[in-house]
Structure 1
Amino acid sequence: MSNDATAGKRNRLTFFAVIAIFLGGMLVAGALRFSGWQPSGMKNHGELLQPPTDLRDFTPRLDAGGEYAWKPAERRWRVLVAPPPGCGDPCRELARELDLVWRLFGNKADELDILWLGAPPADATRNAATRVLRMDPALRAKLPRVDDPAGIPVYVVDPNGFVILRYAPGFDPGGLRADVAKLLRLM
């Protein structure tokens, strides 16, 4: 064989190798996509609500008086808790965990409100982000699976007033912090 024939054969082999690598990568990506796999950084710890629950029609009333307006222009995220009346130790523990999550945000903590629907226990931990809302049965009824027999679920509400995430009772507070941190970075 001449040098030209050898070079041509080598060029064809190189061409087919590049095509095989390209198509192989596409096939692997397609298989991963359609199998439902997601990178761990793309997964939520809470349950993504599809469709999100719209609370924009509700104007919650603050327990201390006045209204809590959604104010989308402020770009504030909210963690919403709607415990049953007379909640004792579970509410105290949840309030402590939410306070810890809020404190871990540091300078971003000012972009997050913790909304407590109904009166929390008198000795529950509170911070500057805690807003106690008057109990509104209609608002509470809009929250997906709010009366969970396993305990108290927690919700994340976007700046516009849509409930987008639900955390089942007994959730890991670190997961809530991670999800809200991702959301705060979007703003």
Structure 2
Amino acid sequence: MQMYAEDSLTEATIRSNRRKLAVLLIIPLVVLATAYAVFYTGFGVPTGTTNKGELIQPPIATEDFVYNKLDGSLYTPESLWHMVIPVLGDCSTACRDTLYTTRQVHLRQGKRAIDIDRIAVLTSPPTAEFVAFMEAEHPGTTMVMANQAQWALVSEPTQLADGDYFLVDPRGWLMMAYRSEHTGEDLLFDLKKLVR
């Protein structure tokens, strides 16, 4: 007479195997229940971020903003990351420092630089001296005039100060601000994570 494997199992082995099977069935249920609880309660979700810039909450939609170039033609931004540098009135020392910092960061991007654009948003008509300065020191930076009503949607909620600048994603969402306490290394760190 041939003996099958289950006939040779002891009662203790059968109980052990049932416990193992129960554990294998319970583990996915526990994982699903935990995920459900975290999703709906927010408990256990990390609140910190790794970005160096100041995250704008909620982000500001700028894709419908109307900008005009200095010659009066309409400026249509490409679907790139944008460093937006506000030029408030006459470009102060803080403004010129920001232009320098963003230029250096842009140059350090290497081959990724083609995926990033720099835009100087002017809040008032520029002087001939400033236009000459931009052409000499910051070639390739697009200068545009801001629509004051639209620009207020950025400047007021972000509490814009002289020398601040922003990072706008390819879909037009203004998502990060950089203040006087931020360095070019902070912007470089964030761009390395964002632009791939």
TM-score of the two chains, using structure 1 as the length reference: 0.70
Q: Secondary structure at the match of 1:82?
A: strand
Find the partner of 2:110 among 96, 106, 109: 106
Which structure has the larger Rg over C-alpha atoms?
A: 2
User: Quick one: distance in 1 between partners of 2:28 and 2:48?
Assistant: 21
- Cα deviation per residue 1:12-59 (whole Å; 9 max; x = unaligned)? 222243345445545665666513316856x6844244353234251x
Tell me what 1:14 maps to: 20
Tell me what 2:46 maps to: 37
Structure 1 residues 81 and 157, CA, compared in 2 at 3 Å: closer, same or farther?
A: same
Would you say the 8 A contact 1:115–1:131 is kept in 2?
A: yes
Whichever residue aligns with residue 159 of structure 2, its letter is D
| Structure 1 residues not aligned, in runs of 5+ | none
Tell me what 2:164 maps to: 153
| Structure 2 residues not aligned, in runs of 5+ | 1-7
Whichever residue aligns with residue 167 of structure 1, its letter is A
- Cα deviation per residue 1:110-154 (whole Å; 9 max; x = unaligned)? 122111112498457844541111354234223143773754432
User: Quick one: distance in 1 between partners of 2:160 and 2:34?
Assistant: 42
Structure 1 residues 128 and 151, CA, compared in 2 at 3 Å: closer, same or farther?
A: closer
User: How do residues 36-185 of structure 1 correspond to structure 2 at under 5 angstroms?
Assistant: 36-37=45-46, 45-50=53-58, 52-58=60-66, 60-63=67-70, 66-71=73-78, 75-118=79-122, 119=126, 122=130, 126-145=137-156, 148=159, 151-160=162-171, 162-170=172-180, 171-185=182-196
Calculate percent identity across the aligned residue pairs.
Answer: 17
- Cα deviation per residue 1:78-135 (whole Å; 9 max; x = unaligned)? 1212232124111122112111221222112112211111249845784454111135
Whichever residue aligns with residue 142 of structure 1, its letter is L
How many correspondences in the alignment?
178
Would you say the 8 A contact 2:85–2:99 is kept in 1?
A: no
Structure 1 residues 173 and 20, CA, compared in 2 at 3 Å: closer, same or farther?
A: farther
Structure 1 residues 48 and 4, CA, compared in 2 at 3 Å: closer, same or farther?
A: farther
Tell me what 2:10 maps to: 4
User: Quick one: distance in 2 between partners of 1:179 and 1:134?
Assistant: 27
Whichever residue aligns with residue 109 of structure 2, its letter is F
User: Quick one: distance in 1 between partners of 2:139 and 2:25?
Assistant: 59
Would you say the 8 A contact 1:101–1:177 is kept in 2?
A: yes
Structure 1 residues 28 and 37, CA, compared in 2 at 3 Å: closer, same or farther?
A: farther
